[in-house]
Amino acid sequence: AIAISYSGMTEEVLKCVETAKEKGAPVIAITRFEENPLRSKADYNLSVAATEFIFRSGAMSSRIGQLDVIDILYTAYAHKEYEQNVKQFERTHIDKPYDEVNFHQKIKPLKEE
C-alpha cells in the first residue's frame, strides 16, 4: 500500500495504513522528513523535500513532490516487470483520437433515473 500525507497525521490515511498492515500489506509512506505518525507506522518511508504549513489546505509544493515520487515508483515498477507490462500497455493503449473513441456514449450512469 502507498500512503500519502505531508503532515503524516491525516486520520483517514492512518486508518487505511492500519487496515493494510492488518491484511499483511507492506506500507510505503510518502511524507515529510520530520517524525510523524505515518512515518512510524510505515515499512518504508519516502520523504518529500518541501516546506509547507502543516494545516494549510491546497499545499502545492509538497503535492508536486509527492506526484514526482509516485511517477518514480510507477516507472521503476514498469521497468522491473518490463515484458509483462509492455504486453499490458499494448493491450490497453488507445490509438484513436478522443473524438473517435466516443467515450461519452460508452459511459453509463451509475444509477438509472
Set of cell numbers at residue 20: 493494510
Considering only residues 110 and 104, tell me which one the structure prediction assigns the higher pLDDT. Answer: 110
Set of cell numbers at residue 64: 508536486
DSSP 24: T
Residue reference for cell 505515518? 38
pLDDT in tens, 68-78: 888 888 888 88
Q: Which domains does the chain have, with CATH numbers?
A: 2-95 (3.40.50.10490)
Considering only residues 11 and 107, tell me which one the structure prediction assigns the higher pLDDT. Answer: 11
pLDDT over 80 at 99, yes or no:
no
pLDDT in tens, 12-22: 999 999 999 99
> Does the predicted model carry a pTM greater than 0.75?
no
The CA distance from 47 to 65, in Å, is: 9
The pLDDT assigned to 82 comes to: 85
